[in-house]
Amino acid sequence: MGRAAGERYRVPAVMAAASILDAIASAPEGLTHTELVRELQLSKSSAHNLLTTLESLGWVRRDPRGRAYRLGGGLVRLGAFAVKQVDALALAIERTHEIAGEHHLTVIAAQPLGRGDVEVVQVAFPDDTHVGVALGTRYSWFDGAVGKVLLAREAPEEAEALVRERARQIPAHTERTLTDPDALLAEVEHVRNVGYGASIGEYRHNHAVAVPVLDADGTLAAVLLAVGFPDQLTRDAIPSIGHTLRDVAEAITAECGGRVPTPRAQAQGVGGTAAGESSG
Q: Which tens digit of pLDDT belongs to each residue from 102-111?
A: 899 999 999 9
**pLDDT single digits (tens) 64-91:** 777 899 999 888 877 766 666 568 888 8
**pLDDT single digits (tens) 5-20:** 456 668 889 999 999 9
**pLDDT single digits (tens) 186-235:** 999 999 999 999 999 998 888 999 999 998 888 898 999 999 888 888 99
Q: Angle, to 10 degrees, between the axis of helix 33-40 and the axis of helix 12-25?
A: 120
Q: What is the pTM of this model?
A: 0.65
User: Between residues 78 and 56, which one has the greater pLDDT?
Assistant: 56
> Which pLDDT value is given to residue 7?
62
**pLDDT single digits (tens) 115-172:** 889 999 888 888 766 777 788 889 999 999 999 999 999 999 999 999 999 988 888 8
Is 144 within 8 Å of 198 (Cβ atoms)? no
> Which pLDDT value is given to residue 271?
35
What CATH architecture applies to the domain 86-266? Answer: 2-Layer Sandwich (3.30)
Q: Domain residue spans in the chain?
A: 3-84, 86-266
> Which pLDDT value is given to residue 5?
45
Q: Residue 64 and residue 91: Cα distance in Å, rounded? A: 41
Q: Residue 181 and residue 179: Cα distance in Å, rounded? A: 6
**pLDDT single digits (tens) 241-280:** 999 999 999 999 888 877 766 655 544 443 333 333 443 3
Q: Which run of H or of E encompasses 23?
A: helix 12-25
Q: Residue 220 and residue 214: Cα distance in Å, rounded? A: 5
What CATH architecture applies to the domain 3-84? Answer: Orthogonal Bundle (1.10)
